[in-house]
């Protein structure tokens, strides 16, 4: 009886820890993004309001907010240019060397991309792919599907690195060589970002079912 109760408490503790970590992985990046934007707004507003008062004799409400929005928009334009992309890549490589900043930047970027990406560029499904060698399975995201003349379906799968999912491998695989799942994209990203600390029961269930089918 004591043994079964101990197992039950252990299971509850593991679930609580998993849910807590999952919450932290979402709240911390969003909170960091909000704090950064708030700091940027207050900084710009603190510079502009004295200037506005000296020119017009009064402060202009919303001036800092408007300029912050414009600054973010212009930054986006510059970042999508050829030179901007190189500069962003250089900055990302520097941030990748600092563990804490790497996690925060990657998480914030991933969350923003998931909110702003058009539907045609979003991941279609989470799959399990045999990679990098036979007998090993990794989480992959289906980006597109196509068919050969024979009718066989091919999947283009992005396999992210962990804990930095902004880089990874692009594989074109046969549909028969992957395990399709019903895992939500966000849940799979949490697992990748946490380096497996946030585990998904469905992954182990699907792998277990595959082993049963083989036997």
Pair 159, 171: CB distance under 8 Å: yes
Question: Residue 175: exposed, middle, or buried by beta-carbon count in 10 A (0-12, 13-18, 19+)?
Answer: middle
All CATH 2.30.30 domain ranges in the chain, comma separated: 119-214
Task: For the domain made up of 119-214, give the CATH fold.
Answer: SH3 type barrels. (2.30.30)
| Exposure on the CB side of residue 188, measured as CA atoms within 13 A | 25
Share the mean pLDDT of the chain. Answer: 75
**Residue 145 in 3-state DSSP?**
strand
Helix or strand (DSSP H, E) at 69: helix 63-79
Query: What is the pTM assigned to this prediction?
Result: 0.47
Digit-coded pLDDT (tens) for 41-50? 888 888 888 8
**Of 29-43, 115-129, 164-178, minimum mean pLDDT range:** 115-129
Question: Among 36, 72, 73, 67, which residue's Cα sits nearest to residue 52?
Answer: 67
Query: 150 — alpha (psi -120 to 50), left (phi > 0) or beta?
Result: alpha
């Amino acid at each position: 009886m004591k043994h079964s109760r101990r197992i039950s408490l252990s299971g509850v503790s593991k679930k609580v820890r998993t849910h807590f970590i999952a919450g932290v992985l979402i709240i911390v990046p969003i909170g960091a993004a909000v704090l950064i934007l708030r700091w940027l707004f207050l900084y710009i507003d603190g510079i502009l309001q004295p200037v506005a008062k000296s020119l017009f004799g009064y402060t202009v409400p919303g001036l800092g907010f408007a300029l912050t929005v414009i600054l973010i928009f212009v930054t986006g334009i510059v970042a999508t240019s050829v030179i901007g992309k190189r500069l962003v890549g250089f900055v990302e490589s520097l941030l990748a060397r600092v563990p804490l900043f790497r996690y925060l930047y990657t998480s914030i970027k991933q969350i923003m991309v998931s909110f702003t990406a058009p539907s045609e560029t979003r991941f279609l499904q989470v799959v399990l792919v045999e990679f990098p060698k036979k007998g090993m399975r990794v989480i992959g995201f289906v980006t597109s599907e196509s068919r050969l003349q024979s009718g066989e379906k091919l999947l283009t799968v992005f396999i992210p690195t962990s804990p930095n999912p902004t880089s990874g491998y692009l594989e074109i695989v046969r549909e028969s060589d992957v395990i399709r799942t019903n895992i939500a994209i966000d849940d799979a990203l949490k697992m990748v970002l946490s380096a497996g600390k946030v585990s998904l029961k469905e992954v182990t269930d699907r792998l277990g079912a595959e082993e049963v089918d083989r036997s």
